Amino acid sequence: MPSILFVCLGNICRSPLAEGALRAEATRLGLELIVDSAGTGDWHAGEPPDERAQAVALRHGVDISALRARQVRLADFRRFTHVIALDHDNLAKLRKLAPADATAELSLLLDHVEGREGQAVADPWFGDAAGFEVTWAEVTAAARKLAARLRL
């Protein structure tokens, strides 16, 4: 069964939004997946997603309030089939962290969206609610493409 781990810096904005978007898309398609999210940093471990992230997801019918931030673990590189970073810095950190026996495929989330390859998902942390809408649109587009690819 495909298993996907989304990774951003603190695991309270972008990666939980990506997790929620992919869970919703998998449910819509009847696709069985394991989906989780984590951060390369540990300072938000145990915290729920940012209130603005929760609000934007809920406006689109997805409840991410039960998710809790955690830090990436070495076992994640063997546990998940795909470890997907939300930006270049986190992808670089993941490449450095990955153990020699890692089996997960590493990529950027927007690599899964034609025409957006190599681009980072917008980080809404320092902005207002409108920035979270942009991020939601990006992770939702990527979730649709990723789910369609995994369905094959």
Domains of the chain are 3-151 (3.40.50.2300)
The per-residue pLDDT for range 4-25, each reduced to its tens digit, is 999 999 999 999 999 999 999 9
Q: Which residues are catalytic?
A: 8, 14, 123
Give me the mean pLDDT over the 36-47 stretch.
Answer: 97
Please give the Cα distance from 135 to 69 (Å, whole number). Answer: 18
pLDDT averaged over every residue in the chain: 97
Helix (H, G, I), strand (E, B), or coil: what is residue 107? strand
pTM of the model: 0.97
Residue 152 has pLDDT above 90, yes or no: no
Place of tokens 């990774």: 7
pLDDT for residue 151 is more than 90 = no
pLDDT exceeds 80 at position 41: yes
Task: Determine the pLDDT at residue 127.
Answer: 87
